[in-house]
Amino acid sequence: MKDIESAKAMRAADMRTPSSLGEAARHDISAGLNALLADVFAVYLKTKNFHWHMSGPYFRDRHLLLDEQGEQIFATTDDIAERVRKLGGTTLRSVGHVARLQRIPDNDAEFVTPEDMLAELREDNMRLADYMRSTHALCDEYHDVATASLLENWIDEAERRVWFLFESGRNG
């Protein structure tokens, strides 16, 4: 009986990490970061989908490009989730949670041309950078320089991915 009570107490434990930012900041920034995390997972999975289904005369270069970009995108997920926890929030718990929060659309098409893959990922990464900028503005409102600083690096990475996808998709 004591073990059951102990388990119930653990489930009800306060998960909020202490922070001097204030409750509103912690809530709003955590919510913004969780939406961003869902979008990052969506872009990651789409990048890997297109990596796995790439074809055509530039297969090797494009396949490797998307693999590198997928690794970079995935590396961001842990940093975002850990920042939410540092703020005292809780983060995504399931694929369903990701689906409820993501703003980047999935692509379940049976076939996508290589050029359309690159163009779609370029647009998705541009949207992701815009969402990051909006989250940065929220951080600025609450004077959360630590999260803003992380976002600046992630924005730069997203813009670099956009550049590479743009140049790799150009004809001639």
- On whether residue 2 sits in a domain, the answer given is no
DSSP for residue 144: -
pTM above threshold 0.75: yes
Is 106 part of a structural domain of the chain? yes
Domain count, the chain: 1
Task: Please give the Cα distance from 139 to 152 (Å, whole number).
Answer: 11
Distance CA 149, CA 70 (A): 22
Q: At what angle do helices 59-86 and 145-169 cross, to 10 degrees?
A: 170
Residue 7 falls inside a structural domain: no
- Helices and strands: H and E segment counts in the chain: 6, 0
**For residue 128, with 0-12 CB atoms within 10 Å meaning exposed, 13-18 middle and 19 or more buried, which class applies?**
buried
CATH of the domain at 34: 1.20.1260.10
Is 111 contained in some domain? Answer: yes
Q: Domain span at residue 132?
A: 21-169
Per residue of the chain (172 residues), what is the pLDDT tens digit?
A: 677 776 666 555 566 677 788 999 999 999 999 999 999 999 999 999 999 999 999 999 999 999 999 999 999 999 999 999 999 999 999 999 999 999 999 999 999 999 999 999 999 999 999 999 999 999 999 999 999 999 999 999 999 999 999 999 987 5
**Is 67 within a domain?**
yes
Domain assignment present for 5: no
Residue 11 maps to a domain: no
